[in-house]
Amino acid sequence: MIPVCSAKGCRATAIWALRWNNPRLHDAQRRKTWLACADHRQSLGDFLGARGFLREVAPVDPSPTLEP
């Protein structure tokens, strides 16, 4: 399955994984993930960062089951 951007209405291939948690709801080790295409990496990161939720941004790992 090809990773798709988490931005509303976007169907582009995701190349970034934005890992986050809400410290009021999740323990410190818990990570949720939003996926982002190149166009939405900044806006999704800004949204999470403004709330203090963003923990890490990393490239999406390629799937071992998909052809390059």
Higher per-residue pLDDT: 64 or 9: 9
Closest CA to 36 of 25, 47, 50: 47
Question: How big is the chain, counted in residues?
Answer: 68
pLDDT at position 10 over 50: yes
Distance CA 10, CA 1 (A): 16
pLDDT at position 40 over 90: yes
Instruction: Return the pLDDT at 61.
Output: 80
pLDDT at position 1 over 90: no
Contacts of 11 (CB under 8 A, 6+ apart): 4, 5
Closest CA to 15 of 45, 48, 57, 59: 59
User: Can you give the pTM of this predicted structure?
Assistant: 0.84
Instruction: Return the pLDDT at 68.
Output: 47
Instruction: Return the pLDDT at 63.
Output: 60
